[in-house]
Structures are given as C-alpha cells and as structure tokens.
Amino acid sequence: MLQRYSFSNESSFLQKLKSFDFVLLFCILIVGIISSFSMYSTDGGEFLYHTKSHIIRFSVFFMMMIFLSFINIRYWHATGYIFYFFILALLIWASFFGITASGSQRWVNLYIINLQPSELMKIAIIICFAKFFHRIQLKNVNNLKNILFPIVILVIPIVLVISQPDLGTSILIALSGLVVLWLSGVNVKYFVYSTLVLIIAAPFVISFLKPYQKRRILTFFDPEKDPLGAGYQIIQSKIAVGSGGVMGKGFLKGTQSYLEFLPEKHTDFIFTLYSEEFGFIGSILLLILYAIIILRIIVIGSSSRSFFGRLFCYGFAASLFIYISVNMCMVLGLLPIVGSPLPIMSYGGSSMLATMVGFALVMSTKIYSRQLII
C-alpha cells in the first residue's frame, strides 16, 4: 500500500516548491512578525538592540529553514545519530569551556555566535529517537535492549543540562524524548512505573535542588507569600495579563512592561507583554496560530510514507505543544517558573535555530513525503 508510490521520489524543483506547505509557512511568518512587534515594544517603542537582532535572526533562520527544506529527508535520517552526537559534544564542551551567564554555564562560543547546545538538543533527541524507532518493529519495541538504549541516549544530555544548571531545558528535553518513546509504542506500564518512581523520588530530588529552584517551586504554590522576592515575577506577570482585558492596552502601551515591572520580558515573559498589549483577543489569535502550526505538522506527519518522518513530525508537534503550554502556563501562574522560552516569540538565537531546524525537517517531510527510507 505504501509501496505503490515508490517511484516518484525524484521531482523537479518547481514541483518541490509547489508541494511546500504554505499554510505552515504563512503561520510561522505571522508569528515571527508578531514577535518582532513585541520585541519592539520591549525595547520601549524604539528600534534597539533586541528588536534588531531578533528580526535579523528570524529572517536569517527563516530563509535557512526554506533552504534546509529542500534537503531530502533521507539525509536527515542518515545523519540523525551524527547530529545527536555533535550536539552532545557541544554540550560537553559547554560543560567545561562554556560561557557562564546569570549563574548558569550553558553557552558555547562559536566565534560567530554564542550557541546554547541544550536548546538544539531538544530537536536532536527527537531526530535521534525517530531514527532509532524507525527501524524497530512494534513487537521488538519493548525489548529491554531497545528500551535501555534510548534511555541512555536521553539521560546523558539531561544530566549535562541539569548540571549547567538549567532545570527548565532539561525537563523539556526529557519531555520531548518521552513523547517520542510514547509514540513509538513503548508499553504504557513503563510510563506508569516511572511516574510512580518519580513521585516517590521527588522529595529526594527536591532536596538536591538549588535553593533558588526550591524557592521557585514553593513560590508557585503561594506567590503572595513573598510578593517582592520570589513571587514577584508571577504576581507582576498575572497583573500584566489580567490588566490587559479583552482588547489589551494597545501596542506600546503596556504599562507593566514599559515601566519595567515585568521580569525577563524579552525571553520567557514575552507572552505576558503581548497579552497585556493585545488582550484576550490577541492572545487567542496567537494560540490559534500555534494550534494551526501544530495541526499542520501533524497532518504533514500523517501523510509521510516513512516512520522516520511520521515519528519526527508527531514528536516535534507534541514537543512544540509542550514548549508552548509550559511557557504559557508558567507566565499565567499555572506552573512553577522554570526557564522555558516560547517558540519563535522569545528572544534567543539557539531556541529560534532549533525551532527552525525542526520546521525545516517538517517541510522536508512534506516535500519528500513519498520518499521511502530503507
């Protein structure tokens, strides 16, 4: 059934261009434009450093995504492990020679740019797992050997990222990996067991956390307890969103961010600023855009003839969804504050690069949807 279309894996450039997913492309572009405006607003309505570099990054990576889309999905599959180990190597490099900023050693200096390998690891882990489970038959999935390998693959980068320390990213890497494991048909009981173990182990884990991380978790349960200390971010973020109302305060009129009550408004709290200025309507619009993007990725995945493309698309869609919802729940006070950027919207090159690489693979899956991968 799948083999029926096995011939036409080579098509002309025009055909490739035609099979581009323009809905996805359009939605990404719109979110990119929204993010540029938001960045302009965080700079206080001036065309300053953050806005400039964000727009440059978005444009460069967006173009890069389109170019990468034309790379056959086959090559992505072929280089999947190499890609993973390359990122892993960068992570190790970062652990020893990385640049330290705000108490965490997470950047490597690549002369042109400072890269945050942990962000790229989010994508690498999906590619790596997709490749791994691409070959494995369903009945063999739950073999001990086939379970242990991905766990090792997953645990190494997580440990590295936690030790940076960067709890937020490591949780997101773990979730991305687990999602692919889940999709690949790993037995439900493993998830149930490991969840139980996690719950039991949680108190011990928490006792190993840094004081500021502990405080964040405690603050989440009662932000008003310490309104000027750890609870400040959540409270100010909620005030900003809540005061936005239905229509928002208007572009460049978000007093909470303009008057610097919002912390990290460029990065993790960009949605707060956007929501304050554009209100409920604007927020829903952004959510719809994200939903369309996710939906398109799933549709693209489901039309792929290869398990690799399918697993990657499903995994990437789920991860994207996780990034978005973790970030939003965090700024809306539904989750503790862990560093997690909002895809495309947040300021940060590595995160943007990782997301765009992901989109490029999705596009490639679409263009080469009939490609069989042996």
Q: Please report, as ranges, the residues that interact with another protein according to CB under 8 A.
A: 1-2, 137-139, 179, 182-185, 236, 238-246, 255-256, 259-261, 275, 279-280, 283-284, 287, 291, 294, 298, 301-302, 307, 310-311, 314, 318, 321, 325, 328-329, 332, 334, 374
Q: How far is the CB of 105 from another protein (least distance, A)?
A: 29
Q: What is the nearest approach in angstroms of another protein to the Cβ of residue 128?
A: 17
Per the CB < 8 A criterion, the answer to whether 306 and 134 are in contact is yes
Looking at the Cβ atoms of 102 and 137, the one nearer to another protein is 137
Q: Which amino acid is at 112?
A: I
Closest to another protein by CB, 319 vs 364, is 319
Q: Are the CB atoms for 83 and 121 separated by under 8 Å?
A: no
**Closer Cβ to another protein, 117 or 309, answer by number:** 309
**337 — phi, psi (to 5°)?**
-80, 110
**CB 4, CB 231: distance < 8 Å:** no
The least distance separating another protein from the CB of residue 198, rounded to whole angstroms, comes to: 18
Nearest CA to 346 out of 138, 89, 156, 172 is that of 172
- Least distance (Å) from another protein to the CB of residue 260? 4
From the CB of 298, what's the least distance to another protein, in Å? 7
Closer by beta carbon to another protein, 28 or else 130: 130
The 3-state secondary structure of 4-50 reads HHCCCCCCCHHHHHHCCCHHHHHHHHHHHHHHHHHHHHHCCCCCCHH
Shorter beta-carbon distance to another protein: residue 156 or 239: 239
Nearer to another protein (CB atom), residue 108 or residue 318: 318
CA–CA distances in Å: residue 245 to residues 20, 33, 250, 300: 38, 23, 11, 36
Q: What's 93's DSSP letter?
A: H
Q: Which two tokens stand for residue 356?
A: 């765009």
Nearest distance from C-beta of residue 108 to another protein, angstroms: 33
